[in-house]
Amino acid sequence: MQAGKVSDDLFNLDKTPGRGFFFASGTTGELALHCADWLERVLCRPVVRSEWPTGKRVLASWEFADTEEGLVSDLLVSANAPPPARRIQIRP
């Protein structure tokens, strides 16, 4: 089994170990434990929400606080946007 984060819109795995990729083999139960451990590590990571107020709405993006790895972002948030007006810790 291979697991990790996708690296593009085609759902190709980023096979960098430092970015969460792992390879495992074993019984169904052992594989389930490997997956559960990986998911628990991901869910325990700190998350922040960055906000850019613009007129009538607030643009936002969410990222892991420990690596600044983006999770999701409004389509209107530019890659070269100015620093956010607010950064809110969502999950410590």
Q: Over the chain, what is the mean pLDDT?
A: 85
Please report, for the chain, the start and end positions of each structural domain, with discontinuous segments joined by +.
2-43, 47-91
pLDDT tens digits along 27-72: 999 999 988 998 898 899 999 999 999 888 999 999 999 988 888 9
Given a contact cutoff of 8 angstroms between Cβ atoms, the answer to whether 58 and 74 are in contact is no
pLDDT at 47: 97
- Give the predicted TM-score (pTM) of the model: 0.71
Q: In terms of DSSP bridges, do strands 47-54 and 22-23 run parallel, antiparallel, or are they unpaired?
A: unpaired
